[in-house]
Amino acid sequence: MTTAARPVATATHCPYCALQCAMTLTPDAQDRLEVTGRDFPTNRGGLCRKGWTAAELLNSAERLHTPLRRRSDGSFTEITWDEALDRTAAAIAGTRRDHGADAVGVFGSGGLTNEKAYQLGKFARVGIGTSRIDYNGRFCMSSAAAAGRRSLGIDRGLPFPVSDLDEADTVLLLGSNVADTMPPFVQHLSGARARGGLIVVDPRRSATANLTRDGQGLHLQPAPGTDMVLLLGLAHVVVHEGLVDEEFVGTRTEGYRALVRSLAAWWPHRVQALTGVPAALLRTTAHRLAQGRAYILTGRGVEQHTDGTDTAAAAINLALLLGLPGSRHGGYGTLTGQGNGQGGREHGQKSDQLPGYRAITDPAARAHVAGVWGVAETSLPGPGLPAVELLASLGRPGGVRCLLVHGSNPAVSAPDVTAVVEGLRRLDFLVVADFVMSETAAEADLVLPVPQWAEEEGTMTTLEGRVVRRRRAGPPPEGVRDELWILAELAARLDSPASFDDDAETVFDELARASAGGPAEYAGIDYRLLEETGGVHWPCPPGSSGTPRLFLESFGHPDGRARFVPVRPAAPLPDTAPDADLTLVTGRLLEHYQSGAQTRRVTELARTRPESRLEIHPATADRLGLADGQWAEVEAAAGTARARVQVSADVRPDTVFLPFHFGGSERANLATRQLTDPVSGMPEFKTTRVRIRPVLEPDRRTGGGEVHAASAPTGRATDRHAEEEVTNA
């Protein structure tokens, strides 16, 4: 494997959120990379503390440098790449032969480059022949995506450049704490704040909600799980107080009358009784949105529910009534979280999609993609299982028996992680590709060391649909191999009928051809254009310069019109713990990202936030006999998590908050259940009923701390199955 000399400075993008802030990496005297902010429309030179410290992880002592095989005692031993690839191919081939192709599963990530996401989907469907592929983006964007496709015909997080928000008079932000999750985004809210028009909907007084103080906006603090009711109440005010944009509704939408009928029951005082938000604030918000330049933005807080798709649809309905989507006086969008959450769901990682955001059940789409891949359309599998169902099938009769995980850590991030880990341990063979020994990698039979963001070439797609270049600032450590190379090598060992390349630019060119004519078309984009422009918004057919603003002329449905989708709140979830009187909301912290596999290994971030904190209202803490700083158990029907108590008036008395970035007994998802939205497959993360009680501080040596490469046995079976397959191959 050849390595290139490190350039003096490399222009690239941050490895974390979908804002994809631009940065420059420059080697210092010790040849370690230093980070500086770079001017770009999303961040304008600014970075958050995660971005500023991103390069530290490149030199972490916990980096993996060679493939690791699990011994019979649960410890790991180093092996060669040839042995690792032979074992993996033998396990796939043996499972496919004995149990069928769908007994092999693939679990991807919204953090992979477009090229890797595309290659992973192609490898699953052609290299293996399995339909069992999905990814961790199912946990964060699927409800908004499903609602966007249903109502607007296309799912692109922000159908306009983020810089358009600078001119807003009003921004209604529901269920997103951008001040902590993507701090450079806040500068785009400064105009609305200066005009008193930032309106934040959140059960917590989050850092973003605090931006509304001193006359800069409003904070609406509904009870958890009542976001849809709030949105229906706002739409009721718009309809019954003469605020509808009648020309827009008449010329650009369908289904208005059915929507009006569905809103009849949601008058302001009824909504007040259900949400706790005063009727006067509902009216103020609705009238504010109907004046000047207004935007409605949603985030995971209103979408990570069993009715998340319908809640996102209620937000779109409100925006359509006001004439915002596709207009020049406002807009609607949803805030993608993961670094490549947008691109990661466009090119084949989702169980029901092919590249270009095509449906895998569409005969024309199947024929087109099969033609690019050089295989028969009939050889492509059909739709598979969304992530929660896929993980629930692990090791069960008729389920997945051999699993490949790339860039994801479901042993922390998935709902009901106790059940997920049990499933991982039931597998015949588990392969995890990662750059550190994550909690999921610690369960594997085989761990494959892969590069980090600054050691690879590729592209990412921002929350606004802008495709940008990720550039390599230097080679990965000796012994580390890129996923494109790994997949190409495995495909060759499995006698794949399609060819696989390990060069990122070549893979991107194939991706562009595969996406041609699809909703998310990249056919007019290549690396040269990205170098010249700094980024291109899809759709971009050949000869185009991209589409920064969608829907200006028409929506994504064949007739060009958007659809009103009447919705109603679902029945309350069954209460399996009647004495659990508090609602657990999970979310993110400023210092950490996703499952914390990266940020918990950055010294400054880990020192600032070394452990999980349970936010609880002072009155609730007093009632339960809890003091600030002591440890508590958070017990739910699924299981029990532990955290240190943080008494705070920023959370409602009926609500507690846990971040989901920590491992061991501090995993918030020990408490969440495997309940999902029936449309999107999105898990319910925001309304878990819990009881809280004080406990002793956990012993981190046995469950509260990090997992290391030489960790003790975990209960996984030995790799006897794979050894037998290698012998027989």
Q: What is the 3-state secondary structure (H, E, C) of 88-125?
A: HHHHHHHHHHHHCHHHEEEEECCCCCHHHHHHHHHHHH
The pTM (predicted TM-score) of the whole model is 0.93
Band of pLDDT at residue 707, cut at 50, 70 and 90: very low
As a whole number of angstroms, the distance between CA 662 and CA 696 comes to 18
- Is the pLDDT confidence value at 444 over 80? yes
* Closest CA relative to residue 13, chosen from 31, 41, 4, 5: 41
CATH superfamily of 143-335: Dimethylsulfoxide Reductase, domain 2 (3.40.228.10)
- Cα–Cα–Cα angle for 35, 38, 41, rounded to 5 degrees: 140
CATH of region 68-140+348-537:
3.40.50.740
Band of pLDDT at residue 8, cut at 50, 70 and 90: confident
Given this model, what pLDDT does residue 31 score? 85
Given this model, what pLDDT does residue 575 score? 55
Are 632 and 615 in contact, with CB atoms under 8 Å apart? no
Given this model, what pLDDT does residue 716 score? 53
- Is the pLDDT confidence value at 709 over 90? no
Q: For residue range 64-102, list pLDDT tens digits in order.
A: 999 999 999 999 999 999 999 999 999 999 999 999 999
- CA dist list (Å): 108 to 116, 136, 160: 9, 6, 27
- Is the pLDDT confidence value at 299 over 80? yes
Q: For residue range 303-355, list pLDDT tens digits in order.
A: 988 898 999 999 999 999 999 999 988 999 999 888 899 999 999 999 999 99
Given this model, what pLDDT does residue 74 score? 93
The fold for domain 10-59 equals N-terminal domain of TfIIb (2.20.25)
Enumerate the domain spans of the chain.
Answer: 10-59, 68-140+348-537, 143-335, 582-698
- Is the pLDDT confidence value at 502 over 80? yes
Band of pLDDT at residue 577, cut at 50, 70 and 90: low
As a whole number of angstroms, the distance between CA 335 and CA 339 comes to 11
- Is the pLDDT confidence value at 576 over 60? no
User: Strands 198-201 and 170-174, how do they pair?
Assistant: parallel
Average pLDDT, rounded, for the chain: 92
Average pLDDT over residues 520-538: 97
As its CATH architecture, domain 582-698 has Beta Barrel (2.40)
As a whole number of angstroms, the distance between CA 473 and CA 183 comes to 25
Please give the single-letter amino acid code of residue 463. Answer: L
Given this model, what pLDDT does residue 5 score? 55
Same CATH topology for 68-140+348-537 and 143-335: the answer is no
* Closest CA relative to residue 136, chosen from 681, 538, 705: 681
Band of pLDDT at residue 439, cut at 50, 70 and 90: very high
Given this model, what pLDDT does residue 727 score? 31
Q: For the chain, give the percent of residues with pLDDT over 90.
A: 88
As a whole number of angstroms, the distance between CA 72 and CA 68 comes to 13
Given this model, what pLDDT does residue 720 score? 36
* Closest CA relative to residue 361, chosen from 131, 34, 93, 97: 131
SS3 (DSSP) at 331: strand
